[in-house]
Amino acid sequence: MLRTLRQEDSHIYNLIKREEKRQVDVLEMIPSENYTSKAVMEALGSILTNKYSEGYPKRRYYQGNTIIDEIEQVAQGRAKKLFAVPFVNVQALSGSPANLAVYVALLKPGSDKIMGLSLAFGGHLTHGQPQSATGKFFLSTLYTLGKDGYLDYDAIEKQAIKEKPKIIVAGFTAYARIIDFEKFSKIAEKVGAYLLADISHIAGLVVAGEHPSPTPYADIITTTTHKTLRGPRGALIMVTEKGLKKNPELPKLIDMAIIPGLQGGPHDNQTAAIAVALKEASTLSYKKYASQIVKNAKVLADELKRYNFDLVSGGTDNHLILIDLKNKKVNGAVAAFALEVGGVVLNKNGVPFDRMPPFYPSGIRLGTPAITTRGMKEKDMGKIAYWIDIIIDEVQDMEMSSNKEERTEQWKNYKKNVMNNKKLLVTAKEIQTFCRKFPL
């Protein structure tokens, strides 16, 4: 007799129900998080979990994969159509292994070079940061933003000419402006590099026409499937027509980098859920959703500026906002913790030219994908900005010392004070009531 989760493991069941309530009762504003549809979750929790499918469609090591082949081919076909590309690998388990697979496919460890945006300026660990395997196994050079918080394409070009990377990465985790993929393409062509566009954050905006597509300009495109694309956790690796002209072997090299290079069998339930999400992203309702994400973000940015928040680059063109809190005299770690206590969930984040360490950065990062999924519109952004302001006001002057030992003691005291702040707890109740108007 099959037993339900509640019957089999009530402890895990209750923890999941508690997490469900938490997600319902707060403003979920981490830019890399979203709420999937029930259809996506149904596919993800299906019996496809039971199958092992090492290899690719029509080329499996195990028997019994006829149906799995069809599922993977559907996912590939939908991705090809949505992103207008000739080749897609849907097996990467997430964004980080997807990027690593590209490097494994094209670079020689210890001699070939990656050029990506510095983590301190809004890049990603897998774009060649020294803390990551991508920066340990391969050479890397990191570019930065200009003083205005924008990409400085002239400086990037000069650095590329000097450093001669084999791969230039155009992709970011905390950049709120439009990316000029054509300029990146010209830079890559000038130095003979591959252009890798990592659009993990903006993929949903790209397919909906809310951000220019990298397809005409990049050689390879990677993306996660769980941010603005609103699917399960997973990733896509795509080769463009431009990439095929540069190197017809790219599809074969990437497939081999995934398996046998980095992974074994794919997660078939994940592949099916990605296919469902890609179908959803092809609809008119999804295009309206993506448009609303950007509208909400722009209005929220304007509302935050009314409360004297210092926005990096002065605003946003996409789904996220990066705030420098130095003028508010509060550390980003303290602010993020206080906001969570008050019912607003976002993340601490470094800002350009930040002098604070990564665990206690000077900024916070927030976005609108998840709250837009719940149905919140422009008129609601003023309320959200107001709540953010009153929460930050409660922790003003909670700056962190430059001394490591002093910071440890400060953090303990700040957390205790924040958790017992009555105004924050009242605000959390107000936000809970507000959120109940937008059921998942």
Q: 162-211: per-residue pLDDT in tens?
A: 999 999 999 999 999 999 999 999 999 999 999 999 999 999 999 999 99
Give dist(CA 359, CA 357) in Å, integer. Answer: 6
CB-based contact 198:177 (threshold 8 Å): no
pLDDT higher than threshold 90 for residue 155: yes
- SS3 percent helix, strand, coil of the chain, rounded to 5, is 50, 15, 35
One-letter amino acid of 420: N
Which residue's structure tokens are 């499996």?
60
Percentage of the chain surpassing pLDDT 70? 100
Cβ–Cβ < 8 Å for 201, 235:
no
Any residues with CB less than 8 A from the CB of 247 and at least 6 apart, and which?
194, 219, 253
In 284-353, where does DSSP find H-type helix?
Answer: 284-306, 332-341
pLDDT of residue 440: 86
Query: Which listed residue (80, 186, 233, 279) is catalytic?
Result: 233
Two tokens, residue 104: 């494994």
Distances (CA, A) of 139 to 165, 184, 258: 9, 20, 21
As a whole number of angstroms, the distance between CA 311 and CA 364 comes to 10
Which entry of 52, 150, 153, 307 is annotated as an active-site residue?
52
pLDDT value, residue 337: 97
Residue 329 has pLDDT above 80, yes or no: yes
For the chain, what is the largest distance between any 2 Cα atoms, rounded to a whole number of angstroms? Answer: 67
Catalytic status, residue 198: yes
When pLDDT is cut at 50, 70 and 90, the band that residue 12 belongs to is: very high
Asked if 52 is an active-site residue, the reply is yes
Compute the average pLDDT of residues 236-264: 97
Mean pLDDT to the nearest integer, 280-297: 98
d(CA 280, CA 42): 14
Q: Mark out the alpha helices in 172-283 (DSSP H runs).
A: 181-191, 203-207, 241-246, 250-256, 268-281
Is 183 an active-site residue?
no
pLDDT at position 405 = 85
Q: Which domains does the chain have, with CATH numbers?
A: 43-281 (3.40.640.10), 293-435 (3.90.1150.10)
Q: Mean pLDDT over residues 309-334, rounded?
A: 97
- Indicate yes or no: pTM above 0.85: yes
1 pLDDT above the threshold of 70: no
CA distance 142 to 164: 12
- In this predicted structure, the answer to whether residue 220 has a pLDDT above a threshold of 90 is yes
Say yes or no to pLDDT of 361 above 80. Answer: yes
Give the three-state DSSP class for 257: helix
- Residue written as token pair 């469902």: 276
| Per-residue model confidence as pLDDT tens digits over 296-315 | 999 999 999 999 999 999 99
Catalytic residue among 113, 227, 242, 348: 227
Judge whether 29 and 368 are in contact, CB under 8 Å.
yes
Confidence of residue 398 (pLDDT cuts 50, 70, 90): confident
Q: Is the pLDDT of residue 365 over 80?
A: yes
Q: Rounded distance, CA 248 to CA 116, Å?
A: 24
**Dist CA 297 CA 302 (whole Å):** 9
**Which position among 215, 223, 224, 316 bears the catalytic label?**
224
Distance of alpha carbon 314 from alpha carbon 287, whole angstroms: 26
State phi, psi for 146 to the nearest 5 degrees.
Answer: -75, 175
Buried (b) or exposed (e) across 59-73, using 16+ Cβ within 10 A? Answer: ebeeeebeebbebbb
Choosing from 72, 157, 198, 380, the catalytic residue is: 198
Q: What is the average per-residue pLDDT within 83-112? A: 97
Determine how β-strand 139-143 pairs with β-strand 55-56: unpaired
Judged by DSSP in three states, 224 sits in: strand
Whether residue 317 lies in the annotated active site: no
Is residue 43 within 8 A of residue 231, CB to CB? The reply is no
In the set 25, 54, 302, 340, the catalytic residue is: 54
Rounded Cα distance, 144 and 239, in Å: 27
- Return the structure tokens found at 170: 């155009």
State in Å, rounded, how far the first CA of the chain is from the last one.
Answer: 32
Cis bond upstream, residue 260 (ω within 30)? yes
Q: If you average pLDDT over every residue of the chain, what do you get? A: 96
- Tell me what pLDDT residue 100 has: 97
CA 227/CA 245 separation, integer angstroms = 30
Q: What residue type is 311 in one-letter code?
A: L
Reported as a single tens digit per residue, the pLDDT across 330-347 is 999 999 999 999 999 999
What pLDDT score does 403 carry? 86
